[in-house]
Amino acid sequence: MDYKLIAWVLGALILLVLIIFYFAYSKYARQKIARHAVNGLERLLKRTRLILIILVLALAGDLGYGHFSPQNSAIHMNLFARTSKVFSSVKNKVFDKSAESSSTDLKKKESSEKASSKKASSEKKAQSEKNAVKIVEGYYEKQGTQTNVEKYKFIKTKISRYSKDKVYEVGAYETENGKLVQVHDYEVNTKGKFNLLY
């Protein structure tokens, strides 16, 4: 017999005993003769307590047996082994060589998708870097300031010390003694706003 079914039956019996106890208690509580009521209540409490202790111990034993029994774990392991054997035989019958070829096609498709997504992300990153340079350059072209700057150049992507957000670092360069020297540093955030660091 299944231990879960036994547990349900024992639980129902415990509930039935409690209901019977309630009605018997009500009966003795309404008696007019106090001595009969007290004696009846004492017997009722002793019997109910004994029956409940036995039922609760039986329930605990049944649940413990069902949970910790080696037969139960062996049954589950056997069921798992049988299921995996059936699944592998069905897989071999249904998915023959055509499935293997479709599997390799699927793997090729996944690898090409990964490569294209990497390419797209690198293109997006390059576009973001170019946009950061264009934002700074466009702003100063409109303002007409920093006329001595010859070139704006992307430096790196980093986390800003001030806003703790991802920013693109852009440098402004001018020629001094025949060399390009960085004269200004900007942080451009992902929203298109920038700060002049120096």
What pLDDT does 102 receive? 56
Average pLDDT, the chain: 78
**135 touches 194 (CB < 8 A):** yes
Read off the pLDDT of residues 43-101 as tens digits, 9 standing for 90 and up.
989 999 999 999 999 888 888 887 777 665 545 555 555 555 655 655 555 555 455 55
**167 touches 187 (CB < 8 A):** yes
- 155, two tokens: 């430096």
What pLDDT does 136 receive? 86
- In this prediction, residues 13-42 reach a mean pLDDT of 88
Sign of the dihedral through C-alpha 75, 80, 85, 86: positive
Q: Where are the alpha helices (DSSP H) in the chain?
A: 3-29, 34-68, 70-94, 97-143
Structure pTM? 0.38
- 20, two tokens: 């019977």
Tell me the C-alpha distance between 196 and 180, whole Å: 19
What pLDDT does 15 receive? 93
Read off the pLDDT of residues 158-177 as tens digits, 9 standing for 90 and up.
888 878 888 889 999 988 88
Contacts of 55 (CB under 8 A, 6+ apart): 10, 13, 14, 17
Read off the pLDDT of residues 142-162 as tens digits, 9 standing for 90 and up.
888 777 888 888 988 888 887
